[in-house]
């Protein structure tokens, strides 16, 4: 089980320090935190396993606003998210760009959590499987690649996929790629156990509920009993 916290654009360095002092990951579950770029070194120093929220495909170059895998490794960062639905929807990132980011990060020795998932209208149009197929096709096949299934309609909305919906999508993803699959989208302490109990749910990617050390610790503990 892998439980990852995606802090998005939340927490200053001082707030990151305060979280790390208050949070002790339970034994027996792998915990990853993805803070904003400016807090990565603070979180690494606290002794936690730290991933970035994005990584560029080039080693260096004229890519204003981007960060390379080598820059992350220098800070002691262990991996990165790629292809989060907010990157796709708000910043125009594509399936191919996401795959290039994943490929480069893996080649540089980072681990990768690649996010996939359909929007509300794609689900209503019955396109969930074709969207997942299209997003997964260009991703590199690598033992250090983890997939996160995050239906965009469940992110930050309080609408969680039912355990049955999550299980169905995870089983489909696993028929296309041999990788652990995390569920993400409104995971909370009170719904984590039933989601994590599904046979093809290998962990969780947690946004809002990961910002509070007690609620994130409760989700991590739910992984132990699932």
Q: Is 93 in the site for ligand PGA (CB under 6 A)?
A: no
Nearer to ligand PGA, 107 or 159 (CB): 159
Q: Which of 32, 187, 192, 220 binds ligand PGA (CB under 6 A)?
A: 187
For residues 73-92, which are near ligand PGA according to CB under 6 A?
none
Q: Which of 56, 86, 150, 170 is catalytic?
A: 150
Nearer to ligand PGA, 73 or 188 (CB): 188
Q: Is 84 a catalytic residue?
A: yes
DSSP per-residue string spanning 66-96: ---HHHHHHTT--EEEE--HHHHHHH---HH
How many Å apart are CA 124 and CA 10, to the nearest integer? 31
Residue bearing tokens 């001082």: 14
Q: How far is the CB of 60 from ligand PGA (least distance, A)?
A: 28
Pairing type for strands 30-34 and 49-52 reads parallel
Give which of 65, 61, 58, 66 is closest to 108, Cα–Cα.
58
Cβ of 57: how many Cβ atoms within 10 Å? 20
For residues 111-150, which are near ligand PGA according to CB under 6 A?
150
Q: Which of 97, 117, 151, 184 binds ligand PGA (CB under 6 A)?
A: 184
Handedness of CA 217, 221, 222, 224 (dihedral sign): positive
Q: Is 150 a catalytic residue?
A: yes
How many Å apart are CA 67 and CA 207, to the nearest integer? 22
Nearer to ligand PGA, 185 or 189 (CB): 185
Q: Which of 84, 86, 93, 118 is catalytic?
A: 84
Residues in contact with ligand PGA, total (CB under 6 A)? 13
Give which of 52, 47, 41 is closest to 5, Cα–Cα.
52
What residues make contact with ligand PGA under the rule CB under 6 A? 6, 150, 155-156, 184-187, 205-209
Query: Which residues does the annotation mark as catalytic?
Result: 84, 150
């Amino acid at each position: 089980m892998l439980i990852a916290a995606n802090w998005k654009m939340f927490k200053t360095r001082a707030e990151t320090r305060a979280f790390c002092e208050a949070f002790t990951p339970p034994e027996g579950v792998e915990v990853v935190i993805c803070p904003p770029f400016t807090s990565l070194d603070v979180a690494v120093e606290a002794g936690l396993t730290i991933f970035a929220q994005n990584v560029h495909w080039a080693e260096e170059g004229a890519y204003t606003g981007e960060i390379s895998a080598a820059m992350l490794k220098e800070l002691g960062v262990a991996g990165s998210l790629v292809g989060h639905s907010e990157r796709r929807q708000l910043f125009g990132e594509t399936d191919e760009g996401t795959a290039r980011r994943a490929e480069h990060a893996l080649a540089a020795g980072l681990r990768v959590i690649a996010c996939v998932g359909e929007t509300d209208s794609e689900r209503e149009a019955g396109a969930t499987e074709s969207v997942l197929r299209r997003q997964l096709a260009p991703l590199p096949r690598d033992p250090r690649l983890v997939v996160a299934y995050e239906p965009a309609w469940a992110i930050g909305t309080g609408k969680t996929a039912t355990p049955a919906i999550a299980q169905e999508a995870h089983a489909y993803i696993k028929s296309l790629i041999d990788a652990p699959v995390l569920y993400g989208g409104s995971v909370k302490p009170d719904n984590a156990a039933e989601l994590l109990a599904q046979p093809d749910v290998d962990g969780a990617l947690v946004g809002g509920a990961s910002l509070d050390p007690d609620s994130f610790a409760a989700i991590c503990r739910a992984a132990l009993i699932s």
